[in-house]
Structure 1
Amino acid sequence: MPTLTRLYSMQEAAKHTTREDCWVVIDGKVYDVTKYLDDHPGGDDVLISATGRDSAEDFEDAGHSKTARELMKDYCIGEIHESCANVIPELEIFTKEEEPSNYTSMFNHPTFWAFPAAILALSVIAAAIRLRRG
Structure 2
Amino acid sequence: MKTLFSFSFLLLLLAQKSNAQAPVNWTKDQLLEPSELAKTLATNKNIPLIYSVGPGALIPHSVVIGMTNDEKNVEAFKKKLNNVPKDASIVVYCGCCPFEHCPNVRPAINALKELQFTNYKLLNLPHNLKADWIDKGYPLSKQ
- TM-score if structure 2 supplies the norm length? 0.30
- TM-score if structure 1 supplies the norm length? 0.32
